[in-house]
Structure formats: structure tokens, C-alpha cells
Structure 1
């Protein structure tokens, strides 16, 4: 389907400036900590095979979704080779370190503790259309 041409208006703005995804300032966004905790727990469960990746689709960007999809496939293959079943990991959320490099952007590291090891999950949240969306997630 061809896209419609974008014409500048009388004031110099394009239609996409108003109807596309709009960045949000920090004052328009909710507290990011509950989302960081839930997103971290959900990502770990997705990689363990205990949760479907589609459940995270509304909270992550397309690039993050594709990155997690690759990790899910690799994790599933590794479990199949070892003959392990997918199971929900017993984990606890530890320290959360949050920085704000600019207005409407949060970069955080969330510590996750399991019986066997501790992991760090790095997440970048960007405020878009008055809600947070993860633009990067890395499980270390």
C-alpha cells in the first residue's frame, strides 16, 4: 500500500509531526519503578519459557521484540538439547539503579537474584504518547 505524501502545512509543520508517536516529558509519565520490576520479571520468565513473548508486545519497541524473539528461540533450543522442561524461575528483584539522561528517558539496571546466580537486566524506557515503552533490554 503506497504511503500518502506528507505536505508541510502553512505553519511549516508536517502532518506526521502531530499524528505520529509523540515523545512525552517526565511530568506526563507515571513512576517507572513498578514497570521496571514487572518488565524485568516478565523478560526473565519469557527467556525461561514460562511466559509468552506476545504478552510484552505493548511495552516494548519492535527492535526489542525482535531481539527478545531471537533470545527465546536460542533458549528453547538449549532447553531441548538438555531435555529440560520450561518452568517459572524462582527469583527476587534486588537493587534498582535509575538514571535520567534526558527528560522522558529512563535508563535502569535491575538486579535479579535466583537460587543459582544473580543477573543484571539493563532497560531503557522512553516516554511515548504519555506512557513508558522499552527501547532497549539486555539481560546480562
Structure 2
């Protein structure tokens, strides 16, 4: 049985592992290779408001969010559910009207949006940062004001 020298084989394997990691890591996508962001922003905003009202499960939005905004949304949805439970208010599907949507693109494959939404009791702003990853939009930041 022949053995290979330990030194060069390890270096080649380490480089191969780095190349594979880089190859399979999330890939940034140019703005031109992505679909229109406006419908995505509007649908994600509606979904987030439905999650906060208890009408939708937060897991349904997991594919649209990166880890940090997903965890923050889970926390906020749990707090909203506890507040509804303490007041004895059932979860209802919210009725919102999107008043305006503003977009800005600070870099290629990045869109920052603010959506103004009017509900029955109040008007809210939803701020989103979208980044093109693996040929689709994903929200990397989310704030509901």
C-alpha cells in the first residue's frame, strides 16, 4: 500500500475545502438577474403584519428572511400572542391598505424600502432591506414601527 506525503495532500485538501465552501456559500446576485422587488416588498409586508396579528405562522415567511430578522419576528410574534392572550382577544386577519412604498438602491443587488400601511386603528411603517442572494430576494433587515 503506497502512502502520499502528508504535507502537500493536506494543503490541496484545505484549498479544495475552501473552494467548495466558497462555491456552496450563498452567492450575491446582481439586480439585473433578480425579479421585480416591488411585489416582494408588498407581499412580505402583508405577511409580517399577518404574523403579528396571529393570522399567519411565522414559519411561512422563513424562506423570505435571513436568520436575524426571522428570529426578531419570532420574538415579536410571541410577545404579540401573549398580549392577545392576556387581553382575551382572538387572532384576526388584519385589514390593511398600503398607502405608499418607497424604494432606494444603495448598491447593486440591494434594495431598501419603506412601506406605509394604514390599518383600522393605526398607521404603521415597515422598513425592509432586501439583498439578492442565490437568484432571489431575501430580507436581511426588518423593522415594524
Whether the TM-score (by the shorter chain) exceeds 0.5 is yes
| Equivalent residue number for residue 99 of structure 1 | 104
The structure having more radius of gyration, on CA atoms, is 2
TM-score by length of 1: 0.90
Moved over 3 A (4+): none
| Equivalent residue number for residue 86 of structure 2 | 81
TM-score by length of 2: 0.87
Q: Distance in 1 between matches of 2:116 and 2:35?
A: 22
Residues 40-90 of structure 1, C-alpha deviation per residue, up to 9 Å, x if partnerless?
Answer: 000000000000111101110111111001001100111011110000111
Residues 84-107 of structure 1, C-alpha deviation per residue, up to 9 Å, x if partnerless?
Answer: 000011111111010001000010
| Bigger share in helix | 2
- 1:52 to 2:57 alignment: yes
Structure 2 unaligned spans of 5+ = 1-12
Structure 1 unaligned spans of 5+ = 1-5
How far has the Cα of 1:115 moved from its partner?
1.7
SS of corresponding position for 2:14: coil
